[in-house]
Amino acid sequence: MKTSEIRKKFLDFFASKGHQVVPSSSLIPGNDPTLMFTVAGMVQFKDVFLGFEKRDYTRATTSQKCLRAGGKHNDLENVGYTARHHTFFEMLGNFSFGDYFKRDAITFAWEFLTGEQWLALPKDKLMVTVYATDDEAYDIWHNTVGVPADKIVRIGDNKGAPYASDNFWTMGDTGPCGPCTEIFFDHGPSVAGGPPGSPDEDGDRFMEIWNNVFMQFNRDDAGTLHPLPKPSVDTGMGLERLSTVLQHVKSNYETDALACLVRAAARETGVEYSQDVPSLKVIADHIRACSFMVADGILPSNEGRGYVLRRIARRAIRHGYKLGQKGLFFHKIVADLVAEMGEAYPDLREKQAHIEDALRAEEIKFAETLEIGMGLVDSALEGGKTALDGDTIFKLYDTFGFPVDLTADICRERGIHADLEGFERAMEAQRERGRAGSNFKMSGKIAYNGDDTRFHGYDKSSVDAKILALYKGTEP
């Protein structure tokens, strides 16, 4: 089943259950100062969940464009390393605004996944989790749906646990949230990874496909949970992951939607097509993110959303360079993306030339400094050094336009440490110099003024603080 058919089947199923089919909203959340990007299908319905906004329907279904590349939901570091994470992806969702709750949410999900006229997935390959104390959800799965006890895992709110399990979904630091039940597909023992709740759950064997959130609370600035006016349902299922399951492959990059872009990346970088070259997958992922961001009105810049776009684009360009492509290539893949997704997203087709121009301009800009910067990395590492020093990371950032996470990506690939604390010190020193000599004009280079990676009034943690935290292993 092709990705476009799966998308349609999902919407048809929920329309047949009385849901209004609502178009995807922009990657830029409308009217929401707490979020940088649309990270889930529920974002456009946030005020409906909170009871601030009324619609003339109480059930909705969408296929939503999502971006997880900054803030609380950030999968940039996963791209190229897992088989199931993208920066840009489509999330299929069904929503109940004070209409149905746990019982219907669970039985709808099961019917769609396993029903003969729907997806007819083998039941024995599915596993579910419920929130640790949610006996109601457990009972529905076990006694109504008939899922055996050994395929139901209770998972708590394991903040601070050594592994990632967390069955309480939150949109951001504040907003609607609640306990979840998640559905996993088991790729079988040939793929590494353990079941949800186990220490090696981050492997790709048990792939989370669908998250059902029982929206019950609104979290305020102080972290306090307040009950919502009406308990609701918010679900999200990754379309690319569902394609992986239905196309009998083991990685999203092997599905129809992504494989054509991996191929295009190979063609444009002049290497042979392979699923075993992470850089090709990174480029395939990033061309989607960058193109959809430009289509939604973002342009590369040194702050806010524009800086996230710049970081993603430059990462992709650097991966092309790594494969030996020193010329312009990235914008040439836009045409392949339009061929694949232009029917579902007509504005992508309409804006093709604009997207190509914007990405080409970014390639030209970065080309001026990429090669010199890479030379600087190589000479800083001469003599078998095991860490890249902070002053070099700062110079790459300040003079050569290497976003910190791009440099960190290079270090990770080479298995060396990136001295991000040293980078912070160098940055602070520059800030001091800037304050001391503030009556001098800055030169035309990207001057760090302490703000340019931050998104004023939006994300609480700056994007780079997030990267630094990742390397320190703490949450900012």
Q: Residue numbers of the site for Mg ion (CB under 5 A)?
A: 208, 211
Q: How far is the C-alpha of 242 from the C-alpha of 129, rounded, in Å?
A: 18
Dihedral sign for Cα 115, 121, 126, 131, please: negative
Looking at the Cβ atoms of 240 and 296, the one nearer to ligand ATP is 240
Q: Which does 172 bind (CB under 5 to 8 A by kind): Mg ion, ligand ATP, none?
A: none
91 binds ligand ATP (CB under 6 A): yes
Contact map string, positions 38 to 77, toward ligand ATP, x by CB under 6 A:
------------------------------x------x--
Least distance from ligand ATP to the Cβ atom of residue 201, Å: 8
Compare residues 204 and 208 and give the one whose CB is closer to Mg ion: 208
285 binds, among ligand ATP, Mg ion, none (CB under 5 to 8 A by kind): none
Least distance in Å: CB of 454 to Mg ion?
23
Residue 239: CB minimum distance to ligand ATP, A = 8
* x/- track of binding to ligand ATP for residues 71-90 (CB under 6 A): ----x--------xxx--x-
Q: Cβ-closest residue to ligand ATP?
A: 238
CB of 211 to Mg ion, least distance (A): 4
Give the total of residues touching ligand ATP (CB under 6 A).
Answer: 16
Q: Quick one: 164 or 372, whose CB is closer to ligand ATP?
A: 164
Assess 196 for contact with ligand ATP (CB under 6 A). Answer: no
**Partners of 216 in the β-ladder:** none
CA gap 173, 181 in Å, rounded: 21
State which residue, 47 or 208, has the beta carbon closest to Mg ion.
208
236 binds, among ligand ATP, Mg ion, none (CB under 5 to 8 A by kind): ligand ATP
Per CB under 6 A, 209 contacts ligand ATP: yes
Site residues (CB under 6 A) for ligand ATP, limited to 219-238: 236-238
CB 9 within 8 A of CB 3: no
Give the one entry of Mg ion, ligand ATP, none that residue 237 binds, where binding means its C-beta sits below a cut-off of 5 to 8 angstroms depending on kind. ligand ATP
Q: How far is the CB of 355 from Mg ion (least distance, A)?
A: 27
Length of the chain: 476
Task: Give bridge partners of residue 177 from the DSSP assignment.
Answer: 170, 217
Picked from Mg ion, ligand ATP, none, the partner binding residue 72 (CB below 5 to 8 A depending on kind) is none
Does residue 240 bind ligand ATP (CB under 6 A)?
Answer: yes
Residue 315 is a binding residue for ligand ATP (CB under 6 A):
no
Instruction: Decide if residue 406 touches ligand ATP (CB under 6 A).
Output: no
The residue from 157, 208, 389, 424 that contacts ligand ATP (CB under 6 A) is 208
Q: Enumerate residues 454-473 that contact ligand ATP by CB under 6 A.
A: none
Among Mg ion, ligand ATP, none, the one that 466 touches (CB under a kind-dependent 5 to 8 A) is none
CB nearer to ligand ATP: give 65 or 84.
Answer: 84
Residues that bind ligand ATP in the complex, under the rule CB under 6 A: 68, 75, 84-86, 89, 91, 208-211, 236-238, 240-241
